Structure 1
Amino acid sequence: MAKRVSLVVAAVILLLLALNFSGLFPTTHEVESTGRTMGTTWSVKYVTDESNEEEVLASMKQALVKVNQQMSTYIPDSELMLLNKAPVNEPIAVSPELFRLAEQAMKVSELSGGAYDITAGSLVNLWGFGSGKSFSGQAPAQIDEKAEPAFAKWLESGQVSVAPDPAAIAEALKKTGYKTLILNAKDRTITKTMPVFIDLSSIAKGYGVDEVAHALEAHGITRYMVEVGGEVRLRGKKPGNEPWRIAVREPVLENRIQTVITLNNKGIATSGDYLNYYEVDGVHFSHLIDARTGYPEKHRLASVAVVNDDTGIADAYATMFMVLGEKAGIKLAEEQGIDAYFIYHTDEGFETRTTGNFSSYILDK
């Protein structure tokens, strides 16, 4: 009897193996794809029991090409650049995707009191961090002689050799202001009441992450990790039922390892200047421009990571907090219940602070 049972079990195993090798009984496996987009890189890992990798890859690439063609300031005929070139006071019909991102960005601008502003493209270009040509002029008066050598060295890491002239900054400020945009949801039009230059780079990468995720989900894939330029979205688990784990991009904090988190169907975006800043007499200068002043933000916030259901919004929030700084940023994040992780400079090194539910995503170390 025992021998007969053993033979039956063996037969079942052989049958399952035969089905597996024949493709009738598919196995779950992990697929990885990488590439370049939006002037940066992208990578995707997903779990599937299908063998349609080429079809899925084509869908992901198509999604990224569409985002680039809609939102890029480096493509002359992108939808965004056509809007930037459009006449003032003329309603321009735009795609649902561009209108949605503009709406989201306007809300973040309002929340930040104008510190975050997608119409600050002229300022970003002026300081050499955008798609436009950099400006050569005299250093601003507020950057004194003691700071000038360090400031010049910092500028060389961007695309300018010297700081813009204060008069040029004042002129660019006249062409900046999110309230100069009129969004008409009924007609889905955007009207510029001033010749502003709209730059969506602070929200487009996160949006691109979500679009790639949607492309995967259209193929029935619900276990993945999508990353574009450092912004990430996670859903489901890896093979073996293990959670996806990612390390938050951060400075080297003395006597501690990197913070590792896991998420499910949420996105995380990180903004930081700890690799691109200088400090003189306790004043911290970064590459991020405050749209209210026209100058780089000056505070001690080194990095901030934000978790949100929408990766594009997380991207915008992270930039907003970096411009606001640690004091105003942490206060706003606490008031709004935003899941964020702040790292800021102190005289002794770095300190960290979490807001909202961010600590719940951190894995035990």
Structure 2
Amino acid sequence: MGTNWSLQAVSPPATTACGVRAAFDRVVRQMSQWEIGSDLSRFNRAAPGVWHEVAGDLAQVVEAALGIARASDGAFDAGMGRLTDAWGFGRGGPVDRVPRDTDVAADRSIEFDAATQRLRRGEGAALDLSGIAKGYAVDLAADWLLGAGVRHFLLEVGGELRGAGLRPDGHPWWVDVEPPPLSSAAPWRVALHDLSVATSGNYRRGFSASGQYYSHSFDPRTGRPIVNGVTSVTVLHRRCMMADGWATALTVLGPQAALALADAQGLAACVVACDREHISRAWRAMLD
């Protein structure tokens, strides 16, 4: 997944590291856009318009991604792999110039048949789960830990975290949410007691061309990086996959629309835009 992971656990068995890594390897085999032999890569090379059976983990993540896409009115798009690749954020690697042509009107549809666990894609679609799969990897590894009898742990993959139980001193797993660079806001401190946190930021990856910075936070509706003033979105959720996916979608919407949708969905979210923090009702309730 191109990142690091860490685990703090209370009295873990000797097989813990191997079990966690096996969970991550499973996600990579199914969902990596950089591994040519992954299920996702093979699906993207197959003919469009044809149904293909997929493994259960991949099906679960696609179903969640499509649900977020519907709820956010297209702010999350699992089929925009060709667009992100053209802008240098995909398997093809970085670019140093703005792409000339990006066909926003292309059929980027990804369809999922839950009854048969099958997928098919539109002519212009390439499956890209980089905005949600990392969170699922955290959940998969966390579920393995719980199944192995590890009840108290803090697991982190590339900035997405999930905590369970308590630290040996009886305190919860406290983590600080990183504020955007140059932000004057103090970092939030969150207790991850059976809770996950994910942050999406427009400053984490990008490139500059002709004096303009282009973020990897991508608006699928325009086919271009976002220009809505949002610098980061943090979401708290029981499942890290949902925190990851919703943080991605809310980043695209802009502060007001993001906050309205977070309230409608009951999400605990903090949106930072133009050095101002906007927090949802669910986030505010956690402060009480």
What TM-score do the two structures reach when normalised by structure 1? 0.73
For this pair of structures, how many residues does the alignment match?
A: 284
Task: Considering Cα pairs closer than 8 Å and 6+ residues apart, tell me whether 1 or 2 has the greater RCO.
Answer: 2
Instruction: Quote the Cα distance in structure 1 between the aligned partners of 2:236 and 2:206.
Output: 25
More divergent stretch after superposition (256-265 vs 243-252): 256-265
* 1:1-365 map, 5 Å: 38-48=1-11, 52-53=13-14, 55-132=15-92, 159-165=94-100, 168-170=101-103, 173-177=104-108, 180-251=109-180, 252-254=182-184, 257-274=186-203, 286-345=215-274, 350-361=275-286
CA contact (8 A) 1:306 1:340 kept: yes
Report which of the two has the higher share of helix.
1
* CA distance 1:185–1:276, change in 2 (3 Å): closer
CA contact (8 A) 2:78 2:110 kept: no
Instruction: Quote the Cα distance in structure 2 between the aligned partners of 1:308 and 1:289.
Output: 22
One-letter code aligned to 1:60: V
Deviations 1:256-296 (A, max 9, x none): 53211102212111001245679xxxx99633221111111
Instruction: Quote the Cα distance in structure 1 between the aligned partners of 2:205 and 2:124.
Output: 30
* CA distance 1:229–1:107, change in 2 (3 Å): same
Segments of 5+ residues of structure 2 without an aligned counterpart are none
One-letter code aligned to 1:61: R
Instruction: Quote the Cα distance in structure 2 between the aligned partners of 1:71 and 1:193.
Output: 18
Instruction: Quote the Cα distance in structure 2 between the aligned partners of 1:271 and 1:227.
Output: 15
Segments of 5+ residues of structure 1 without an aligned counterpart are 1-37, 134-158
Instruction: Tell me the SS of whatever aligns to 2:234.
Output: strand
Instruction: Quote the Cα distance in structure 2 between the aligned partners of 1:294 and 1:248.
Output: 29
- 1:253 Cα deviation (Å)? 3.7
> Runs of at least 4 residues of structure 1 off by over 2 A?
173-177, 251-254, 274-278, 283-287, 359-363
Deviations 1:150-201 (A, max 9, x none): xxxxxxxxx2211111xx212xx24453xx2221112111122324111101
CA contact (8 A) 2:179 2:186 kept: no
Instruction: Tell me the SS of whatever aligns to 1:202.
Output: coil
* CA distance 1:81–1:259, change in 2 (3 Å): same
- 1:47 Cα deviation (Å)? 0.7
Instruction: Quote the Cα distance in structure 2 between the aligned partners of 1:83 and 1:277.
Output: 27
More divergent stretch after superposition (97-106 vs 286-295): 286-295
Instruction: Tell me the SS of whatever aligns to 1:40.
Output: coil
Deviations 1:114-165 (A, max 9, x none): 12101011110000011125xxxxxxxxxxxxxxxxxxxxxxxxx2211111
Instruction: Quote the Cα distance in structure 2 between the aligned partners of 1:272 and 1:77.
Output: 29
Instruction: Quote the Cα distance in structure 1 between the aligned partners of 2:107 and 2:165.
Output: 42
* CA distance 1:39–1:353, change in 2 (3 Å): same
One-letter code aligned to 2:97: V
CA contact (8 A) 2:236 2:243 kept: yes
CA contact (8 A) 1:285 1:299 kept: no
CA contact (8 A) 1:232 1:268 kept: yes
CA contact (8 A) 1:40 1:228 kept: yes
Over the residues paired in the alignment, what is the CA RMSD in angstroms? 2.2
Percent of matched pairs sharing the same residue: 31
